[in-house]
Structure 1
C-alpha cells in the first residue's frame, strides 16, 4: 500500500486532512451510493461544547432554561467520572446540514463520523418523507435565533421568574404538544417573522384584561344547553384536539400575547423533533450502513491504512454492540445494530437470496437493486413500517426474537410466537408495533370546554390494555395545565375499547 495514496497516515489531523477526507467520502456517497444531501457545514468543538450541545437538545441556538444547566451538570459528572462517553459527532437537521466533530477525535474517527453524519444522516434528513412533511430544514436555524432573542426580550421585560414559569409548564407538556395526523404550518420566513413581531407588538398594546373577568353563565343557562349547542361548540373549537399546547396557545383566556408566543416556540421545537422519535432505527441504520460501506470501500482502494481500519472497526463495533437480555448493560434493542442488520439483510436478499427469501420478498429477491431498495426505504418508511415490511425470518432467527405474552390476569407468561411460518408474521408485527409511537404514547385530547360557562377544560385519556398514567407525574402535569388555563381542568380515563370510565381526576383535587 503506497503511503502517498493514504488520506492520512497518523492519528493527527488538520483542516486540510478533514477537507481531503470529506471530498473523497462525499464522492463515494454521491456516485456509488446515489445519496442526495444538503450542503455540509462542519465545525470542530471541544468536549465541553459537546456536553453543552447535549444539554440544549442538540441545537446550536437555544433559549435559556434551568433544565439545560441541570442536564449539563449531570452529563459532565458522568463524563468526568468515566460513567459515560460522549458522542463523537452531532448533526443538525438543517440546510446547510451542520455537523459538529469533537476536536479530541483521531483522523480515522473523524473520517468515520464524517461518513456517518455528513453523508448518512444528511441524506436521511433531506429525503425521508416525515422530515420533508413536518420540518423545514432551511428555516429552523433562523427560527431558533428568533426564539432565543424573543425569550431573552421577555425575560428583560417581564422578569426571569415569570418567563421560567411559562417555560416549565410548556416543557412539561411537550409530549402532548405535537400534531400527529395533520400538517402543521411551516416555520416562519423572514417576512413572516417580521409580521409576527408587528402582530405581537399590536397585541401587547391592545391586550384587554377584561377577558379575565368575564362573568360565568348562570347555572340555569348551562343546564338548558342542548346537545346540538354542545356539538356546535366543539365544532367551532375544532374538538377533539390532540395538540394540547396548541389549544392552550389559541384558547386560554388568561395568557398574555408574549406567553402565547412562548408556548408556540416550545411546540414548534417539539414538532421539529417528532420525526426523529419515529425514525431512530431506520435513521441510525442508514447512517451506520453508509459509514460502514464507505469505510470498507476506502480500505479496499488503499485510501486508509490497516491500522486506521482496525481503529474504525473497533469504534464501529462499539456502536453496534448489542448486550444480551441478561447482561447488566442491556437497556433494550440497540437501534444502530438492528438498523444496520436490516439494511445489510436487504443487500443480501437482493444479491444472494435463499428460497425462503424469494417467498417472503419476491419483489427484491435476486434483483440486485439493493441501492434502489434502500433509497426507497430511507425515503418512505419510519421504524414501524420499515420493520413490518423488511424484517426477514433470517434476522428473526439471528436475533432470537419471539413473542412473550404477559397478561395481568394470567398467572404465567405465555410464549405467543416462535420460529415457524405463522410465528414469523406475529413476531414481525409485534416488534413493529413496539416502534409505533402513536400506539405507545399516551393519547390525551381536549374533548370539551364551555368558554361561556364554567370554563372547565375537559381532557380525555384513552386507556389501552389497562395501562393508566402514573399518579405523581399525572397530577404534576395537571397543575401545569391548570397554570396555563387558569380554570379547572378535569381528566377522564376511558377504556379505548369499551368506552367505560377507568378513572377521573381534576385540578381541584390536587394541592398547589
Structure 2
C-alpha cells in the first residue's frame, strides 16, 4: 500500500520535506521539468504583508512607500476586505518560495507544486527571463542595493535620498531596455564595478557639457544636430539610463541610485509580459502534480477535494456582466489554454488540424508545452495558440465602440473564421507591451540654449497620457534633469501634435 504524504491538516517541517521531494519526483521524472534548486521558507501573515509592500523581494532597501503599502494592505486584511496569497515565489537561484504558516498540509502541497516547480521551471526556461534576468546574482545585488541606500542616507541625509528614489520610482516603467541585443545584466559584476566607474563617468558627461556654447560669438549652429544626438545617444527610450549618463548636475551617488532602480526594473520586466503564461504554467503544473499524487494514493480523497475547491477558486472567470468582472483572470485564461493545447495534441478535431498543423495529434503533451513555455510571451502565446474551440467555450466576441468611426457599440467579430482571427488578434494586443505601454523617447536636448530636455510620445489609436499623471511624472524627470523638460504627444498616423507639456524643475540637486 502506498504511504500517504500526510494525514489531516497538520504539518511539520519533515512533512514539508517529504511533500517537496515527492513533488520533485513527479515534476522531473513524469513532467520533465527543469528547475533551479528550491529554498522553501515558511512565513507569518504579517511577514506576507511585509513582502507585499516591497514587491515580494526578500531583501530590499528602505523607502517610505513600502511602509505606506504595508499599512494599506494590513488594514484591508484585518477588516476582511482582502485575502493573502498562499505563496510568493522569487525568480532567483536558488528559487525562493514563501509559504504561509496558516496553510493546511494540502495547501502546502499545492503551493509547492505551483511555485517551487511550476513558476520555477518557467523562470529558468522562458527566453525572456534567460535574456533579461540574472537569477544567480539578484539576491547579492539586492543586498548591495540595501547597503548602498543605507550608506547614502547616512552620508547625504534621508530626505535627499528619498527625493532621488521618489523620482526614480516614478520613472521605473521607463527605465528598461525593451529590445534584444543589449548585454544581459550580471548583478555580481554590477556590484563589483559600482565603486570603479565614478571618475570615468564624470569625465564622460563633463566632456559632453564642455561642448555647450558659452561665449556670445557662438550660436545654436555651433553644435550640429547630428553630433549632439550622437554624444547623447539619442533617441533614447530608457529614461533612467539617459539621466544616469547625461544629467548634468546629478551627484555620483544619485547616478548609482538611478542605476539600482533601473536594474531592478529590468529584472521585473519579463514578468509583466508573461503573466498569463507564467500563472497558466504554474496552475497546469500544480493541477497535474496533485492529480498524479491522488492517483498514486499519496493524498486522500478529502485532501483532493480540498485542493479542487481552491483550484476552482483560482481559475474562476467572472462573466462580462458580472459585477466582479475586471478583465481576464490570467490564471483562468492561461490554464484553459494549456489544457486546450493538451486536447489538440492528443485528441484533435479536423478544425484543430487545420489551425494547428504542427502540434495537432503529436501525442507528446509535455514536449509541446515545454516548448511553448520556453519560446513565447503572452502576446505571441495568445496570437498563436488561442483556438476557435476555446473561443467558443469562453464565448468570446469583439465589440467596436469608436464613435469617430461608427455610432454606437457594434459586434465586430463573431464565431466564423474571420471573426476568430480578429478576436485572437485583438486579445493578443492587450498583452503586447509595444501596443499598451506608451512609446516615450528622449529626442533632443537644447545644449546651445536653455538646456531643455525634449521628449516625444508617439500616440497609438488616440491613447494619450493621463494629464495629471503625466505632469507628476514629468515633474520628477525635471527635478533629476534640473532644467526644463518638454513632452510632445504626436499622433502616429498623422504626425499631428495632440498636446504639449512644459515642466520646470522645482528642486535643486544635492551637492556631490
What is the TM-score with the length of structure 2 in the denominator? 0.94
Which residue does the alignment assign to 1:263? Answer: 258
Which residue does the alignment assign to 1:237? Answer: 232
Which residue does the alignment assign to 1:455? Answer: 451
Which residue does the alignment assign to 1:12? Answer: 10
What is the CA distance between 1:138 and its match in structure 2? 0.2
Q: 1: distance between equivalents of 2:33 and 2:215?
A: 65
What is the CA distance between 1:44 and its match in structure 2? 0.5
Secondary structure at the aligned position of 2:278 is classed as: helix
Closer, same or farther: CA 320–205 of 1 in aligned 2, 3 Å: closer
What is the CA distance between 1:465 and its match in structure 2? 1.3
Is the contact made by 1:139 and 1:187 (CA closer than 8 Å) also made in structure 2? Answer: no
What is the CA distance between 1:324 and its match in structure 2? 1.1
Secondary structure at the aligned position of 1:54 is classed as: helix
Which residue does the alignment assign to 2:285? Answer: 290
Q: Are 2:289 and 1:307 aligned?
A: no
What is the CA distance between 1:331 and its match in structure 2? 1.2
Is the contact made by 2:489 and 2:500 (CA closer than 8 Å) also made in structure 1? Answer: yes
Is the contact made by 1:241 and 1:247 (CA closer than 8 Å) also made in structure 2? Answer: yes
Which residue does the alignment assign to 1:445? Answer: 441
Q: Are 2:317 and 1:322 aligned?
A: yes
Which residue does the alignment assign to 1:477? Answer: 473
Tell me the C-alpha RMSD between the 2 structures. 2.4
Q: 1: distance between equivalents of 2:142 and 2:259?
A: 12
Closer, same or farther: CA 219–441 of 1 in aligned 2, 3 Å: farther
Secondary structure at the aligned position of 1:99 is classed as: strand
Which residue does the alignment assign to 2:407? Answer: 411
Is the contact made by 1:255 and 1:484 (CA closer than 8 Å) also made in structure 2? Answer: yes
What is the correspondence of 1:109-258 to structure 2 with a 5 Å cutoff? 109-188=107-186, 190=188, 193-200=191-198, 217=214, 221-224=218-221, 229-258=224-253
Q: 2: distance between equivalents of 1:5 and 1:332?
A: 43
Secondary structure at the aligned position of 1:197 is classed as: coil
TM-superposition CA deviations, 1:387-409 (whole Å, max 9, x none): 11100001000111111111131
Secondary structure at the aligned position of 1:490 is classed as: strand
Closer, same or farther: CA 352–311 of 1 in aligned 2, 3 Å: same
What is the CA distance between 1:214 and its match in structure 2? 9.6
Is the contact made by 2:486 and 2:503 (CA closer than 8 Å) also made in structure 1? Answer: yes
Is the contact made by 2:4 and 2:300 (CA closer than 8 Å) also made in structure 1? Answer: yes
The count of aligned residue pairs is 507
Q: Are 2:501 and 1:505 aligned?
A: yes
Pick the aligned partner of 1:431 from 422, 427, 433: 427
What is the CA distance between 1:509 and its match in structure 2? 10
Q: Are 2:68 and 1:70 aligned?
A: yes
Secondary structure at the aligned position of 2:194 is classed as: helix
Q: 2: distance between equivalents of 1:128 and 1:215?
A: 46
Which residue does the alignment assign to 1:362? Answer: 357
Q: 2: distance between equivalents of 1:490 and 1:218?
A: 25
Closer, same or farther: CA 205–473 of 1 in aligned 2, 3 Å: closer
Pick the aligned partner of 2:347 from 352, 370, 386: 352
Closer, same or farther: CA 39–511 of 1 in aligned 2, 3 Å: closer
Closer, same or farther: CA 54–183 of 1 in aligned 2, 3 Å: farther
Is the contact made by 2:236 and 2:441 (CA closer than 8 Å) also made in structure 1? Answer: yes
TM-superposition CA deviations, 1:96-145 (whole Å, max 9, x none): 10011010000000000000000000000000000000000000000000
Is the contact made by 2:475 and 2:504 (CA closer than 8 Å) also made in structure 1? Answer: no
Q: Are 2:40 and 1:45 aligned?
A: no
Q: Which moved more, 1:71-80 or 1:153-162?
A: 71-80
Is the contact made by 2:482 and 2:507 (CA closer than 8 Å) also made in structure 1? Answer: no
Unaligned runs of 5+ in 2: none
What is the CA distance between 1:476 and its match in structure 2? 0.8
Closer, same or farther: CA 209–367 of 1 in aligned 2, 3 Å: closer
Q: Are 2:356 and 1:377 aligned?
A: no
